[in-house]
Amino acid sequence: MPKLTSLKEFITENQKDFNYSTSDLSCLLRDIVLAAKVVNQDIQRAGLLDHVLGAQGVENIQGEAQQKLDVLADQAFIKSFLEGGVVCGIASEENEDFLAFDATSSHAANYVVLFDPLDGSSNIDVNVSVGTIFSIYRRISPVGTKATLEDMLQAGNKQVAAGYVLFGSSTMLVYTTGNGVNGFTLDPISGEFFLSHANMQMPLNGRLYSVNEGNLNDFDPQLRAYLAYCQSDVNQTGKPYSGRYIGSLVADFHRNLIKGGIYIYPAVPSAPKGRLRLLYECNPLAFIAEQAGGLATDGNQRILDIEPTELHQRAALYIGSKEMVEKAMGLV
């Protein structure tokens, strides 16, 4: 059996690919991995623990029913970032405002992290894959001061790293620092992440489309035309594409990253700007998609070029294999 490359070894061996301190990147990913392991343990035992499974009984800032695991995951990541000392502030999908850490060591930190602590958490009750999505930026505010809103409201093209943790049949960490995409799988015996998917490339084309067709009547005619194309035998494959929609963004994206496909969450009359969160979902996945050879747009412009104006800004999302997104944009 060939020697496996651990996440720490991979970072050290590829330090030239990160334009800033390698120790900073190592510490940032260490903090994410520590929190992810805590969340993973809770997910694995979700059906056995009352404080893990089910709804919290309140709504989050998004107006969604907050799950108990949403809160536990949010707390785990905030605690890890606070104690790690390389993050000056965070913004979470679960909280109305950003959090500027008060510790002196945090004021000296160079990074902010924006994250969705548990995407697809409503699927926990039925044992479907869920995930954490994260986005890392260099701060704009002066080092030595508290983090500001300006630090959080940066366009996606300013990201220095982004990734996700997928909690599924195995637990995977997938991330990019702007020099390709690599995936690591958690070995449950050693408790370490090892390189399992090197230099991930999204196929230029695919036969999978992911969209909630229950909302078909709300889609504009152009999008319905594209979906009709996907379902016909006149597309480039000569037979209908397969529809695959899990309802967990990380899981849907990960499948399409590996097999090729397109994920669509369009704007509709009830959500004219879209429903997904630009900062916590669209930007990090768009960064990964582009680094893997794919594309990401809101239907009008590149996701990474959108200038955010608020923490919980919404966006439409067309993301996936390059030629599939280009085809959709030719009709949408």
User: Is residue 2 very low, low, confident or very high in pLDDT (cuts 50, 70, 90)?
Assistant: confident
Q: What's the whole-model pTM score?
A: 0.94
Pairwise CA distance, residues 321 & 332, whole Å: 16
CB atoms near residue 267 (< 10 Å): 21
Q: Give the architecture (CATH level 2) of 7-197.
A: 2-Layer Sandwich (3.30)
Beta bridge partners of 187: 192
Residue 245 φ/ψ, nearest 5 degrees: -135, 110
Nearest Cα residue to 299 out of 261, 262, 267 = 267
Q: Give residue 64's pLDDT.
A: 62
Nearest Cα residue to 291 out of 164, 165, 182, 196 = 182
Q: One fold for both 7-197 and 208-331?
A: no
Q: Give residue 44's pLDDT.
A: 86
Least confident window among 73-77, 221-225, 235-239:
235-239
Pairwise CA distance, residues 89 & 76, whole Å: 15
Model pLDDT for residues 245-299, shown as the tens digit of each residue? 999 999 999 999 999 999 999 999 999 999 999 999 999 999 999 999 999 999 9
Does residue 54 carry a pLDDT above 90? no
For 149-154, what is the mean pLDDT? 98
DSSP state of 20: S
User: Is residue 50 very low, low, confident or very high in pLDDT (cuts 50, 70, 90)?
Assistant: low
Q: Which two tokens stand for residue 218?
A: 């709300």
Q: Give the architecture (CATH level 2) of 208-331.
A: 3-Layer(aba) Sandwich (3.40)
H-only helix segments in the chain: 7-13, 22-44, 68-84, 104-107, 149-152, 221-230, 249-259, 283-291, 322-331
In the chain, domain spans: 7-197, 208-331
Q: Are 212 and 225 within 8 A, CB to CB?
A: no
For 93-120, what is the mean pLDDT? 94
Q: Residue 95 CA to chain centroid, in angstroms? A: 17
Model pLDDT for residues 114-139, shown as the tens digit of each residue? 999 999 888 877 888 999 999 999 99
What rounded mean pLDDT belongs to the chain?
A: 92
Q: Give residue 68's pLDDT.
A: 83
Q: Give residue 310's pLDDT.
A: 97
DSSP state of 93: T
Pairwise CA distance, residues 313 & 215, whole Å: 21
